Structure 1
Amino acid sequence: MSRINVLLTDDHQIIIDGLKSLLKNSDEIIVAAEANNGREALRILGLLSIDVLLMDIDMPVMNGIEALKEIRKQFRDVKVIILSMHNEAGMIKSLIDLGANGYLLKSCSQDELIGAIRKVASGQSYFSTDVTLALLKPANPEQKNEILTERETEILKLIAAGFSNKEIGDQLYISHRTVDTHRTNLMKKLDVSNIAGLISYAIKNGIF
């Protein structure tokens, strides 16, 4: 039985530890390395032979969306499974368009996780049932489309690109506290509760 070298990428160590525990009983799946953000994952991909990358979306330094773009440019043969708690259809579709080979929710079972890795490693795609249902839901025709100010649009672009508050502040010559205020206002205005929601809005509306 051929081995499947896996790279785990998540900014929460407890998630990585949990995944390692779930995968340790599989003879052919080997956790070859772990990373806490997309930039670290890219560095590791340049050093090790990785078959499947299991990666979160919302991470500091470089998020999963930016990392996936770079992986498809630099490491075309690496299979990528997104592992996230978000099942927004717009974001899932965007990640599929960028080249994701699979999408799992963090609520998935051990059997589903192992099965997905095996399937994707063999050249197939895998999307969990909940993800498939999200993709099949009709779009909301009354989706809110707030008009953002030029500054808000600028900051939203940088947030979606994975920059931290400090990095955004340095680029725009404003304090990180001001960036944090803009970020909070954006979430209120767009009626989202997290960074993943901001990224999803940016993608769906052509801002990123």
Structure 2
Amino acid sequence: MNIFACSNYRDTMRTTKILLADDHTLIRECLIAMIEKAPGLEVVAQAGSGMEAVRLTYELKPDLVLMDLVMPDGNGIEASRCILSAFPDTKVLMLSMYGDARSVRQALEAGGKGFLVKSCPSEEILEAVRVVSDNGFYLSSHLQGVLEHELHPAAGKLPLTSREEEVLVLMAQGKTSREIAAQLQISPKTVETHRMHLMKKLNLTNIASLTKFAIREGLLPLE
């Protein structure tokens, strides 16, 4: 199992609508053939550029965009920012030939919920799509060695208490203040106090930015 995958996966019958964005026709056709064989997944459109991906997202409002990193007319990073600024509930899963830490970091900072390298097996692509569509995060197993240093900072680097780190991780997993309070055996008011302290210490403004920070710093208990 990929240790860089984290999800609250639940077996549901809901169909996930997917937009494919890649400037190579052959890659799009292969992805479509693979995805449409999987139950619960449907490719609703395909785009050959970043600009086209943004336009089709406005028109079709897919649940998930499988986005190539490098494309003409706006790369995957720029397209992701445009899409997520207008449709924050849309999930973006980045797919690229490049697996360097800088590219992954840029993708996550743009709002991507996962990153795959194109050399990964088809089974991993399907796993990543399901994890991300279920509000999880996925980083390709090919990236584990590359990102080990990037995602796991040295001890003592973060300006957080152990309790604040616990609250941050649970918030990044999508738990409510009441759920966090019950798990940590503290009051919901105390959870909110920790949340405010986290945002102030890290200079962040919302839950989405806290989640990105947790991913970037390797704090999520990835399974």
Work out whether the TM-score is over 0.5. Answer: yes
CA distance in 1, matches of 2:96, 2:25: 15
User: Structure 1 residue 123 and structure 2 residue 123: aligned?
Assistant: no
| 1:88 paired residue number | 100
Please point out which of 51, 73, 79 is paired with 1:67.
Answer: 79
Letter in 1 for 2:74: M
User: Structure 1 residue 51 and structure 2 residue 63: aligned?
Assistant: yes
| 2:53 paired residue number | 41
Please point out which of 12, 35, 39 is paired with 1:27.
Answer: 39
The correspondence of residues 1-208 of structure 1 with structure 2, limited to 5 A, is 1-137=13-149
Letter in 2 for 1:124: G
Letter in 1 for 2:142: D
CA distance in 2, matches of 1:29, 1:101: 17
CA distance in 2, matches of 1:67, 1:98: 9
Q: In 2, are the aligned partners of 1:9 and 1:35 still within 8 Å (CA)?
A: yes
RMSD of aligned Cα (Å): 1.2
* Greater RCO structure (CA 8 Å; 6+ sep): 2
Q: In 1, are the aligned partners of 2:120 and 2:142 still within 8 Å (CA)?
A: no
CA distance in 2, matches of 1:2, 1:133: 35
Deviations 1:83-115 (A, max 9, x none): 101011012112111211010111111211111
Letter in 1 for 2:133: A
Letter in 1 for 2:15: R
Tell me the SS of whatever aligns to 2:60: coil
Q: CA deviation at 1:63?
A: 0.6
Q: In 2, are the aligned partners of 1:93 and 1:135 still within 8 Å (CA)?
A: no
| 1:190 paired residue number | none
CA distance in 1, matches of 2:111, 2:72: 21
Q: CA deviation at 1:133?
A: 2.2
Instruction: Give the % identical residues.
Output: 36
Tell me the SS of whatever aligns to 1:34: strand
Letter in 2 for 1:51: D
CA distance in 2, matches of 1:4, 1:133: 31
Q: In 2, are the aligned partners of 1:6 and 1:31 still within 8 Å (CA)?
A: yes
Structure 2 unaligned residues grouped into runs of 5+? 1-12, 151-223
Tell me the SS of whatever aligns to 2:37: coil
